[in-house]
Amino acid sequence: MKILVINCGSSSIKYELFAMEGEKVLARGFLEKIGEEGSLLSHHSQGEVLRIKRDIPSHEDGLELVVQVLMDKEKGVVKDASDVFAVGHRVVQGGEKFIEPTLIDDEVIEAIRQYQGLAPLHNPFNLAGIMAMRRLLPEVPQVAVFDTAFHHTMPEAAYLYAIPMKYYRKYGLKRYGFHGTSHRYVAEKAAEISNLPLSELNLITCHLGNGCSMTAIRQGKVVDTSMGFTPLEGLIMGTRCGDIDAAAAIFLAEKEKLSFQEIGNLLNKESGLLGLSGLSNDVRVLEKAAREGNSKAALALEVFAYRVRKYIGAYLAVLGRVDAIIFTAGIGKNSPSMRSAILKGISPLGISLDEARNQNPEKTQGIITTEDSPIKVLVIRTHEEALIARDTLQVVKKSLFDSGRAK
Ligand code: ADP
């Protein structure tokens, strides 16, 4: 049974095709620079990489190419449309309405469209992907899996901003949180590794990639997360500033005579590690530069680590008891020196890092703390697409079951 997972960004499409028996990835790929010159599709399947360079003006054209490659007579892994059981889409903003994975119909599309205003940098592209796949594979059921959904259990105290309540009521202006699928994936994996039900675990999950966010999870349910109304809040990221005094943005806009869009760009695209270092948003580049004596790169990394440490402290206080802290995504999974910088001096709080394990987490099922550390720290590779595929399968099976019963 095959499920195709689609993740449309502003100028890119990521996709993965799963054989659900054993959750095997049959093909995966990345199409970049949509709508720009030099669009490039990199398609991985059966140990081979296919690269196609050709200008792709829109997401629909991009997905048409993806479907063609997947169904290629010679090398394709899909026979025809009937060979695809369902398509799962990542949708960034589900607002207060979508708290679980949802079978897509016209009404759902309309609701996602209405949430575009809440996530103008993401939802329009997610929606473009949905519309295109509906046209390309009209008979195949489509499911939306929302980045915000896992966070819907946050209590008011965590999701309200202290601004007049009328704006929450009028616009839904509150903290939603993002990366929910990744936080849920690693939380479920941690439960599997520790052989305990997720509903008994208190966890702090740290998704540190291009975008970065942390989540406090009590008995399997989210009680707080660091991203807010948009993915700008919270941790320092590759190019986003994270938490900042809102008045500083107003000050800058006034002094530099910046429009709303310009100040948005400055905080989302020119800040974070890139802004601090003046060099790069990539931790690999900064770590190398810091080793070679670049003090601005070293400072950027230190500020990044400090912010994560501060949130760990906050979430320890929120949760009271914590079983494990989990690091995931590009930086969290791959940078031992960043993990060790984050956890520096934290042992009085019950987290005792084992530096040898930190260098080689694979040897100890991802556990990088000492045997007697009261709070465990784990390194887990995230795989959001796998969870989207699982959710998609469940939703479609349930709807088939329900419609069978109704007949
Ligand atoms: P996305 O959020 O786009 O999925 P990733 O989770 O792949 O991104 O994270 C990308 C970031 O991870 C890169 O920008 C880089 O900073 C960091 N990264 C990837 N590999 C390493 C590594 N070996 N060491 C340090 N940082 C890394």
Atom of ligand 1 at shortest distance to CA of 211? Answer: 2
Ligand 1 contact via 32 beta carbon (within 6 Å): no
Asked if domains 2-146 and 197-384 share a fold, the reply is: yes
Residue 20 CB partners (closer than 8 Å, separation 6+): 1, 2, 3, 85, 389, 393
pLDDT class for 407, splitting at 50, 70, 90?
Answer: low
Q: What is the 3-state secondary structure (H, E, C) of 352-404?
A: CECHHHHHCHHHHCCECECCCCCCEEEECCCCHHHHHHHHHHHHHHHHHHHHH
Pocket flag, ligand 1, residue 280 (CB < 6 Å):
no
Residue nearest to atom 23 of ligand 1 (CA): 334
Atom of ligand 1 nearest to the CA of 282: 16
Find out whether the beta carbon of 9 lies less than 6 Å from any atom of ligand 1: no
Two tokens, residue 402: 């329900």
pLDDT at 116: 85
Q: Which pLDDT does position 404 carry in this prediction?
A: 79
Angle at 260 between CA 255 and CA 265, to 5 degrees: 90
Residues in the chain: 407
pLDDT tens-digit map of 157-214: 999 999 999 999 999 999 999 999 999 999 999 999 999 999 999 999 999 999 999 9
Query: Angle at CA 257, nearest 5°, toward 253 and 258?
Result: 60
Q: Give 243: exposed, middle or buried? Use CB within 10 Å, 0-12, 13-18, 19+.
A: middle
Q: Where are the domains of the chain?
A: 2-146, 197-384
Q: Tell me the CA–centroid distance for residue 350 and ligand 1, in Å.
A: 28
Q: In what order do the strands lie in the sheet with 212-218?
A: 221-225, 212-218, 203-208, 324-328, 376-379
Ligand 1 proximity of 272 Cβ (cutoff 6 Å): no
CA of 272 relative to ligand 1 center, distance in Å? 14
Distance of CA 263 to the CA centre of its chain: 24
State pLDDT tens for residues 63-77: 999 999 999 999 899
- Token pair of 139, please? 């008979």
CATH number of 2-146: 3.30.420.40
Looking at per-residue pLDDT, the higher value among 197 and 348 belongs to: 197
Task: Return the number of other C-beta atoms located less than 10 Å from residue 85's C-beta.
Answer: 18
* Strand boundaries in 119-259, DSSP class E: 142-146, 203-208, 212-218, 221-225
Note the pLDDT of residue 406. 67
Give the Å distance between the CA of 281 and the centre of ligand 1: 10
284 lines ligand 1 (CB under 6 A): yes
Given this model, what pLDDT does residue 114 score? 87
Cβ–ligand 1 contact at 331 (below 6 Å): yes
Band of pLDDT at residue 378, cut at 50, 70 and 90: very high
Whole-number Å distance, alpha carbon 283 to ligand 1 midpoint, is 7
What is the pLDDT of the chain when averaged over all its residues? 96
Q: Is 283 in the pocket of ligand 1 (CB under 6 A)?
A: yes
pLDDT digits (tens, 9 = 90+) for 103-117: 999 999 999 998 888
Name the residue at shortest CA distance from atom 14 of ligand 1.
282
CB of 396 closer than 8 Å to CB of 224: no
**How far away, in angstroms, is 333 Cα from ligand 1 center?**
8
Tell which CATH classification among 1.10.3720.10, 3.20.20.70, 3.30.420.40, 3.30.9.10 matches the domain 197-384. Answer: 3.30.420.40
Q: Cα of 330 to ligand 1 centre, how many Å?
A: 3
Q: Is 334 in the pocket of ligand 1 (CB under 6 A)?
A: yes
Residue type, 253: A
In this structure, the residue with its CA closest to atom 20 of ligand 1 is 330
Q: Is 372 a catalytic residue?
A: no
pLDDT digits (tens, 9 = 90+) for 269-313: 999 999 999 999 999 999 999 999 999 999 999 999 999 999 999
Query: In percent, how much of the chain has pLDDT > 70?
Result: 100
**Atom from ligand 1 closest to the CA of residue 283:** 16
Q: How far from chain centre, in Å, is Cα 339? A: 19
- 329 within ligand 1 shell (Cβ under 6 A): yes
pLDDT for 289 equals 98
pTM for the complete prediction? Answer: 0.95
Q: Which one-letter DSSP state was computed for residue 76?
A: -
Of 178, 210, 379, the one to substitute when testing ligand 1's pocket (max ligand atoms within 8 A of C-beta) is: 210
Q: What is the pLDDT of residue 117?
A: 84
* Candidate list 61, 72, 83, 147, residue with the active-site label: 147
Beta strands in 47-195 (DSSP E): 48-53, 84-91, 102-103, 142-146
113 alpha carbon to ligand 1 midpoint, in Å? Answer: 31
pLDDT tens for 8-50 read 998 999 999 999 999 999 999 999 999 999 999 999 999 999 9
User: Tell me: the pLDDT tens digits for 201-248?
Assistant: 999 999 999 999 999 999 999 999 999 999 999 999 999 999 999 999
In angstroms, what is the span from residue 282 Cα to ligand 1's centroid? 7
Question: Is the CB of residue 377 less than 8 Å from the CB of residue 368?
Answer: yes
Quick check: CB of 288 below 6 Å from ligand 1?
no
Q: Is 209 in the pocket of ligand 1 (CB under 6 A)?
A: yes
Model confidence at 54: pLDDT above 70: yes
Among 10, 279, 284, residue to substitute to test ligand 1 (most atoms within 8 Å of Cβ): 284
Q: Say if residues 286 and 273 touch (Cβ distance below 8 Å).
A: yes
